[in-house]
Structure 1
């Protein structure tokens, strides 16, 4: 809005107000007297532009976006803690709050019988399965403590983009009166949930099915499925949770659809076929997370683009998905999972 209010523009206007019989050339007395004020005014216009951007939700950032969201009754979702299973000496009762240590992370034993990471965020999602735990408390009879599988992934604090997306849904009143979008919102509010897909009237009047992924865009554990069910409809049809009276909610986990990729490539100079394999696998895995429950087709054109834009690939041909040169359709409850990536080097 104030991009034309530059130092030169302000100086020109100021000098125009000075009588013509006074020396106004650069580095003259009057020019040097006006220059500091013009510089400060130019900086002020820059700040005004910034302030205006912080006023509107689509350009606001950080605490200023928090304040706009608060006007609509929303708060930024904080980082959540990972919850994992633990395997302990059989028959030993662990006191709630018992602490364990592994790989620079501390975990507490909860009354639910699981281990909660003390560090919020994705740190507790690390591959710790089968690792021995060091008990920080004296627990009679405890001879073995081993980390189990990840039940509920930890999640970092909500980003500006994620908060703005929720804000937009709220102010546009897209999620109201227990409509389809409202159920999606409720499910995704639960700690550890990534995305949710809603199936109204899936088993008759008053029935709603919710299929969820975890925060890593993977199938959800039974623990996470139960958390969502308890939050939305703990006592079917009674209106004890978020769902209204008369609505019976079923919550299920997404299921994987294995996707194998074949491609023939010419590597760039100084790149080996192993480098091509690693780069393409990483980019396809990221792509699959992006489209989980947002698209129902794995498009061949998207895979072609990934290979084409790979830094390690000079040329390529014969891209196939599950052995075929066409798009792969996903069922309603499926999310793609990368299976094998077969990279052949072109002769």
Structure 2
């Protein structure tokens, strides 16, 4: 691609190119008069070089012009999905008629905070249930069953609180790459009225959906989804997808079924030889994080958990000399996933050679 950029010195040289018998040295009147314009022209030429990077979706993504990428996508009716707050329910145990106020703060051991959404009066059985919402947006506020159990402020007659079910409906703002992929799906796939690509686009429009696959059949359409956190979708998200598609799809288009992917837990064991610069616990933590990233990125699309890939990740960790007896789910074979399956990290256990 041709470039517009020229330095200020280049512009100045062009300006004085036709001047003869005139002092154009560093401190001359001509130099002082023309230098400001040279710098302005140079700055403008730099901006002109950036414009082509901004106006096309792919180059906007590659050059981190996210706002212009959003504008390009919006022209096609594709809008960036915003972050959501994780919400759930806590069970409260206490004396009959004890009050747990609205906007009470509850937390996890790690300090994630949530607020109750209504005032709760404990019933005659000593139990109450309150809706809670995370204090901020994003997936970092998702948590497992029983993680929320701390009350920073104590209330008279209230004994304990806890979430009885996991919370997994907090989503980060859609990544620029995911937004671009939805744009490409729309402009480069033949989404005619009610074909499989249309169903996938409709599903991906729902906040919280990160993957969608449509399997059409005789008189029925099946849509398989995963959430934006690359995990199985909860019932609430499945219902949202079903309702949204049902609203926009052609009438009498057959029976619609929306389901979530099935999570396949990947447990990894191995023995490692390490040098004196690291300790086993640190190596295990680093490997767990890297393996999780591998499963949620590469395996998410290839549908294959490779023993060799995991071995490569392990031996690439600083301080790891070699490894042996690497196993996935207690076996030494690769694992191939079905269309409706995704791999999620389970336990990781490393020993020493």
TM-score normalised per structure 1: 0.80
- How far does the alpha carbon of each residue in 1:250-295 deviate from its partner, in whole angstroms, 9 at most, with x for none? 2222222232333343324421111111100111011111246422
Q: What is the match of residue 193 of structure 1?
A: 209
Which residue does 1:48 correspond to in 2?
48
Deviation at 1:208, TM superposition (A): 2.0
User: Helix, strand or coil: the match of 2:16?
Assistant: helix
Equivalent residue pairs, number: 332
| Mapped partners of 1:317, 1:266: distance in 2 | 8
Inter-CA distance 52–5: structure 2 relative to 1 (3 Å threshold): same
* Residue of structure 2 aligned with 1:82, choices 80, 86, 99: 86
Task: Specify every segment of 5 or more residues in structure 1 that has no aligned partner in the other structure, as ranges.
Answer: 234-239
User: Cα gap change, 1:170/1:43 in structure 2, threshold over 3 Å: closer, same or farther?
Assistant: same
Local SS of the residue matching 1:185: helix
> 1: CA distance between counterparts of 2:250 and 2:267?
39
- Partners of 1:316 and 1:135 in 2: how far apart? 46
Question: Which stretch shows the higher mean deviation, 286-295 or 41-50?
Answer: 286-295
Corresponding residue for 2:136?
A: 119
Post-superposition offset of 1:228: 2.4
- What residue in structure 2 maps to residue 300 of structure 1? 307
Q: 2:231 aligns with which of 204, 215, 218?
A: 218
Residues 129, 149 of structure 1: 8 Å contact kept: yes
Determine the structure 1 residue equivalent to 2:221: 208
| Distance (whole Å) between structure 2 residues aligned to residue 175 and residue 122 of structure 1 | 31
What's the offset of the Cα at 1:183? 1.8
Which position in structure 2 is the counterpart of 1:12? 13
Alignment CA distance shift 1:152-1:125 (3 Å): closer
Preserved CA contact (<8 Å) 1:196 1:293: no
Say what the alpha-carbon RMSD is for the aligned residues. 3.6
Cα contact 2:146–2:165 (8 A) shared by 1? yes
- Measure, in 1, the Cα distance between the counterparts of 2:150 and 2:323: 47
Contact 1:109 1:116 in 2 (8 A): no
For the 8 Å contact 1:76–1:163, the answer to whether it is kept is yes
